[in-house]
Amino acid sequence: MRRLVARALSISLATAGLVAFVHGPTYADTVCQRTDPATGICLITVEVPGNPGEPGTPGDGGPKDTGTGSACWWDGSAQGISKPPPGPVPCSSPDGYWSNGYRCYISLAKPQPPAGDPNWQGHEPGDGAVYNCYQPQTGILVLIWSPDPPPNSGQGPTPRDVAQLAIKQMALRAIDIGITPSPGADSIGIVGMPVWMWAANPDAHTVGPTTASATAGGITVSATARIQRITWDMGDGHTVICNTAGTPYKASYGNKKSPDCGHVYTTSSSSKPDQKFTVTATSDWVITWAGAGQTGTIRLSGLTRSVQIAVGEAQVLVQ
């Protein structure tokens, strides 16, 4: 049963700013399309209007990319209502379209109240309009005046769109490469000797974890990013996948192999451009987000940085 409450005295109504986003398809993997060459930071753009890029494929058995989320959601906590709990709601119903700000379905009141009716809130007919605001969770129907139609949350951002805004704030970037032999001109590795790779000077932006929040369209989302793995293209046709940030090499380790992220070259770099191997480290991230009573996971890959190292043959002198 619906209860009509005049002038919205029994319900807290607060409009929220709405940023218009175009809904996109469910994603499989977010690939970094553009990296700042100077810093290695992934440059993420959320366009209005626009469509997300083509999805990639993680293909590594890690967490799957899930959850677009509904742009329309219910939260009765401001009214002291715990049931039903916060969560998505249909963006449209026979009662109208859903407004996150008003937490109800909106439709134009027909007929409009006569002049002088309290629901005009002192305005004249034709100056804006009076709308039905129906909240099925409580059965309350409220009449509200608004100069413009209240925002339609079904046309706003999804929680995943808002999570992308949070990711942009994180300034995730490629790792600074630590490797032995070092990229310096005076450092040359030896074929058959262990090579160590690691994330130099790791921080929240290069290996995580890091957390950020963003708000748009009446939706607030918190996201946490953690690096899942680093894929090393060693430049000799071999790829090494490391599930850790790697262990920095120390002279005291001598000729030991890295315990978690290493490689052994079987050929020299003499045939390569500049007589060096180009080593590229690509970071893959997993971002979990929560908001609007919903959760999801975003996979981010494509954060890369490269260095060049020289590897030569050991010379044996026979006298």
CATH code, domain carrying 276: 2.60.40.10
Q: Do 110 and 255 belong to one domain?
A: no
The residue out of 114, 146, 178 marking a domain boundary is 146
Q: Do 177 and 286 belong to one domain?
A: yes
Token pair belonging to 158: 């999804």
SS3 279: strand
Of 20-24, 50-54, 240-244, highest mean pLDDT: 240-244
pTM of the model: 0.71
SS3 74: strand
Residues 78, 137 contacting (CB under 8 angstroms)? no
Q: Do 257 and 220 belong to one domain?
A: yes
Q: Do 304 and 248 belong to one domain?
A: yes
What would the pLDDT profile of 150-174 be if each residue is shown by its tens digit? 999 999 899 999 999 999 999 999 9
Q: Do 191 and 107 belong to one domain?
A: no
Given a cut of 90, is residue 260 above it in pLDDT?
A: yes
Q: What is the mean pLDDT of the chain?
A: 82
Q: In terms of pLDDT, which residue wins out, 38 or 74?
A: 74
Q: Do 83 and 163 belong to one domain?
A: no
Residue 46 is assigned to a structural domain of this protein? no
The residue out of 92, 117, 146 marking a domain boundary is 146
Phi, psi for residue 177 in degrees, rounded to 5: -80, 125
Token pair belonging to 162: 């808002």
Q: Do 130 and 251 belong to one domain?
A: no
What would the pLDDT profile of 203-246 be if each residue is shown by its tens digit? 999 999 999 999 998 899 999 999 999 999 999 999 999 999 99
Q: Do 210 and 292 belong to one domain?
A: yes
What residues make up the domain containing 192? Answer: 159-312
Percent of the chain with pLDDT over 90: 66
Residues 251-279 have a mean pLDDT of 94
Q: Do 300 and 243 belong to one domain?
A: yes
Tell me which residue of 213, 212, 219, 224 sits closest to 293, measured CA to CA. 219
**Model confidence band, residue 61 (pLDDT cutoffs 50, 70, 90):** low
Number of domains in the chain: 2
What would the pLDDT profile of 78-114 be if each residue is shown by its tens digit? 888 888 888 899 999 999 999 999 999 999 999 999 9
State the pLDDT at residue 316. Answer: 43
Q: In terms of pLDDT, which residue wins out, 45 or 81?
A: 81
SS3 6: helix
Q: Do 213 and 278 belong to one domain?
A: yes
* Lowest mean per-residue pLDDT among 15-19, 29-33, 116-120, 151-155: 15-19
Q: Do 200 and 253 belong to one domain?
A: yes
Q: Residues with Cβ < 8 Å from 297, sequence gap 6 or more? A: 63, 64, 65, 66, 67, 286, 287, 288, 289
Residue 39 is assigned to a structural domain of this protein? no
The residue out of 116, 146, 176 marking a domain boundary is 146
Q: Do 96 and 191 belong to one domain?
A: no
Residues 81-84: contacts with CB under 8 Å, at least 24 apart: 81/137, 81/138, 84/137
